[in-house]
Structure 1
Amino acid sequence: MISREQRTPFSEWWWTVDKLLLAAIIVLMLGGVILSLAASPPVATRIGLDPFHFFNRHVLFLLPSFIVLIAVSFLSPRQIRRSALIVFAISIALIVATLLLGPEVKGSRRWITILGLNIQASESAKPAFVVLAAWLFSESARRPEMPATSMAVTLLIMLVSLLVMEPDFGQTMLILMVWGAVFFIAGMRIVWVMGLAGLAAGGLFAAYLFVPHVAGRIKRFMNPASGDTYQVDTAMEAFSNGGWFGLGPGEGIAKRSLPDSHTDFVFAVGAEEFGIILCLALLLLFAFIVIRTLSRAYSSEDLFSRFAASGLAILFGIQAAINMAVNLQLIPAKGMTLPFISYGGSSMISLAYGVGMMLALTRLRPRVEMESIGDATAAPTYA
């Protein structure tokens, strides 16, 4: 048993970290292992690999991801800001390298191979960007004379421009939504809300006019007869086949023909084998993680911790919502992983980094430890 009297870094972490939030994240990770085992063997077999190729790699990526998650949760808010700056700078450099040197796949350049590892740098850029934007908004609130909001807009334009050049419009829309949400939490004026909504709508319309694959996805969503909707149709059949309690582990039919059953459509595979009950459980688990983090964030008197934890929770929640909505044919198809459930090394490690920062920012700390609050005699609060 760990005593409260101990003053080791681990004991301080143990008594300040949100254990319910940590437990929910661990349950989600274990659920990802089970669903990867259910969904990935048919995909590996179809392309001539060992049946457990993707499952083994999923577990292999899970181990360093969990280490990253725990290690980052030990950091202080100041260390989180510094790490985010470093990670963001490296990610931007890798995105530029990807645009210049990365292979073109289906008209996009999103991956670069380094030391035998395929890296999608936009994944690591997302949580780091959210933290930097939150820091700039908090500085703008504390020091109005500082052009922090303009700097946040500049960072947004830089990242979005690079993502559009790949092109990756799904990640672009995700970044815009999260940035707008953090800006709103920071006290954005209504004119900014209208302006951002107008820009987003204009950007989507421009993509529809000038980017063929974006137009194709929207047309297929609006009128399924206008193109190939095999994957989303098969996913919907999986939900229908599974019913409330599923066909049973290993009995799924859709995964035998779904090309992306282990990534974009793992949610549908889970629905077919384990039923809608599992889908509702996953939905509640994601909702709990987001709401719990937002609740802890709003208990913080440190603006940076409040904005950053809220932004990371919203990023996590919107990404999960997009994946599930695509599986249910509620929005046009978009390649977006389901956090800790879908296969993908870059995504999993980046999610672990973001969730680790969520845990760190929602730890219970005395105000004396918080850089932006100087009252050392105050009672403990969330930071």
Structure 2
Amino acid sequence: MKTIFQHIKGDKTIWAIVAILAIFSFMPVYSASTNLVYVVGSGSTLGHLAKHVVLLIMGFAIIYGVHKIPYRYFSGGSVLMLPVVIVLLIFTLAQGTTIGGANASRWIRIGGIGFQTSTLAGLVLMVYVARYLAKNKEKKILFKESLWQLWLPVAAVLILILPANFSTTAIIFVMILMVAFIGGYPLKYIGFILSAGIVALSIFVLIAKAFPDAMPNRVQTWQSRIESFSDKKGKEAYQVEKAKIAIATGGTLGVGPGKSVQKNFLPQSTSDFIFAIIVEEYGLVGGFLIVSIYFMLLFRIFVVIRKTTTIFATLLVLGVGVPIIFQATINMAVATNLFPVTGQTLPLISSGGTSIWMTCFALGMILSVSASKEETEEDILDDNPLDILHETID
């Protein structure tokens, strides 16, 4: 055991939080997978649990590998990865597949494994934005110049994510504006970008309405989710209603592990609505415990930020760390009917490879920052992306 801890660097509390969330997820995923087995007719409960465990083990391998990389490499790496994710998003938009018979145009298959490219794109984009803001912290930012260097790549990525995944697009956009504000980007320019984003979304909706065959079902899906949230009708309303029943049934201490009834009726019981199953089986106490663990993770993220020695490190941790908590909050808000259905998973607890892996990649970057020794801004931002590529190959 001592040998293992010698190789683990960075904030030990974050490591412990990740381990607790991962281990806790076993029972809810195993229990909720009965829906997939007996209702959908997919595999076995042990098979789904084994798959989830394997994905988590791979996730921990990602955390370990990434946290060993000096965080300065992520700066140049984001520049190298940006064209790659744009190509992947274009391919996804053109070749998006279906999963379980459902429309899943945000997914592609790589080696038989479903991969959600928007999650990777969001992570790369946050690092890229952190790099730009850190590089221009001591300079007067010219709006026209920033349009080309910062907002054009951001717009290109978000436009490619939007048709298949509005909620992820909105989360990334809000997080980017938050990082831009904290990074010292002029507030009046942020207001202009926000207005431009709203106008662009309105134009997209109008075009989708005018040419429904070009992007079938997307705007209708958003519309139906909003209407379901307000009118309490439709498929999404059915899911939320079952989630509310699950939460109400759980009471203070829950019905017990594996004894959930609503898992047999909730279509997304292992992913989007797993928090409702947790509360049903473990009660208000279990739900409060999960919220507390995410709150503790947020606290430790700010502890890491406080100890950073460079602006890039601060913005990097903020940009990749806060979205994890934001996503968890949205997932729990949807289950408790405080927010329309979005399709966001509960980080490290819901089943799903891409969500687990990208969350682990983000946590690995945070741990890399917390494990780093003092560096100067010049050491990080003067790295040529091509030099980093050559070092990696060597």
For the residue of structure 1 that corresponds to 2:342, the secondary structure is coil
Counterpart contact for 2:71–2:372, Cα < 8 Å: no
Q: Structure 2 counterpart of 1:75, which letter?
A: I
Aligned-partner Cα distance in 2 for 1:260–1:203: 31
Aligned-partner Cα distance in 2 for 1:361–1:193: 27
Aligned-partner Cα distance in 1 for 2:204–2:253: 40
* Superposition deviation, residue 263 in structure 1: 0.7
For the residue of structure 2 that corresponds to 1:141, the secondary structure is coil
Q: Does 1:96 align with 2:90?
A: yes
Q: In the superposition, relative to structure 1, how do residues 369 and 212 fare at CA in structure 2: closer, same or farther (>3 Å)?
A: closer
Residue deviations 1:1-49 (CA, integer Å, cap 9, x gap):
969xxxxx985x64x5111111111111112222212211232222222
Q: In the superposition, relative to structure 1, how do residues 85 and 52 fare at CA in structure 2: closer, same or farther (>3 Å)?
A: farther
Task: Show the counterpart of 2:136.
Answer: 140
* Superposition deviation, residue 189 in structure 1: 2.5
Aligned-partner Cα distance in 2 for 1:202–1:253: 44
Q: Does 1:198 align with 2:192?
A: no
* Superposition deviation, residue 364 in structure 1: 4.7
TM-score (norm 2): 0.85
- Superposed CA RMSD in Å reads 2.7
* Superposition deviation, residue 93 in structure 1: 2.1
Q: Does 1:178 align with 2:186?
A: no
Counterpart contact for 1:45–1:51, Cα < 8 Å: no
Counterpart contact for 2:72–2:379, Cα < 8 Å: yes
* Superposition deviation, residue 275 in structure 1: 0.8
Task: Show the counterpart of 1:77.
Answer: 71
Counterpart contact for 1:323–1:337, Cα < 8 Å: yes
Residue deviations 1:298-322 (CA, integer Å, cap 9, x gap):
3323010000101111111111111
* Superposition deviation, residue 84 in structure 1: 3.6
Task: Show the counterpart of 2:318.
Answer: 310
Counterpart contact for 1:68–1:356, Cα < 8 Å: yes
* Superposition deviation, residue 323 in structure 1: 0.7
Select the residue among 360, 368, 371 that pairs with 2:368: 360
Task: Show the counterpart of 1:30.
Answer: 23
Q: Structure 1 counterpart of 2:281, which letter?
A: E
Q: In the superposition, relative to structure 1, how do residues 278 and 88 fare at CA in structure 2: closer, same or farther (>3 Å)?
A: farther
For the residue of structure 2 that corresponds to 1:181, the secondary structure is helix
Q: Structure 2 counterpart of 1:114, which letter?
A: I
Aligned-partner Cα distance in 1 for 2:267–2:361: 28
Task: Show the counterpart of 1:233.
Answer: 241
Residue deviations 1:187-213 (CA, integer Å, cap 9, x gap):
132323433443455566667764221
TM-score (norm 1): 0.87
Task: Show the counterpart of 2:118.
Answer: 122
* Superposition deviation, residue 178 in structure 1: 0.9
Counterpart contact for 1:92–1:121, Cα < 8 Å: no
Task: Show the counterpart of 1:56.
Answer: 50
Task: Show the counterpart of 1:169.
Answer: 166
Residue deviations 1:269-328 (CA, integer Å, cap 9, x gap):
000001111111111111111221123213323010000101111111111111111111
Aligned-partner Cα distance in 1 for 2:38–2:157: 37
Range that drifts further, 54-63 or 139-148? 139-148
Q: In the superposition, relative to structure 1, how do residues 234 and 205 fare at CA in structure 2: closer, same or farther (>3 Å)?
A: farther
Q: Structure 2 counterpart of 1:163, which letter?
A: I
Task: Show the counterpart of 1:6.
Answer: none
Task: Show the counterpart of 2:106.
Answer: 110
For the residue of structure 2 that corresponds to 1:333, the secondary structure is coil
Aligned-partner Cα distance in 1 for 2:170–2:152: 17
Aligned-partner Cα distance in 2 for 1:226–1:249: 30
Residue deviations 1:224-279 (CA, integer Å, cap 9, x gap):
14775110000011110001110001111110111110010000000000111111
Task: Show the counterpart of 2:385.
Answer: none
- Aligned pairs for 1:9-48 (under 5 A) are 11=6, 14=8, 17-48=10-41
- Count of aligned positions: 366
For the residue of structure 2 that corresponds to 1:339, the secondary structure is coil
- Aligned pairs for 1:314-333 (under 5 A) are 314-333=322-341
* Superposition deviation, residue 145 in structure 1: 7.4
Q: In the superposition, relative to structure 1, how do residues 253 and 226 fare at CA in structure 2: closer, same or farther (>3 Å)?
A: closer
Identity among equivalent positions (%) equals 25
Counterpart contact for 1:76–1:360, Cα < 8 Å: yes
Counterpart contact for 1:290–1:314, Cα < 8 Å: yes
Q: In the superposition, relative to structure 1, how do residues 31 and 207 fare at CA in structure 2: closer, same or farther (>3 Å)?
A: farther
Aligned-partner Cα distance in 1 for 2:204–2:348: 30
Aligned-partner Cα distance in 2 for 1:163–1:20: 34
* Superposition deviation, residue 335 in structure 1: 0.4
Aligned-partner Cα distance in 2 for 1:192–1:330: 31
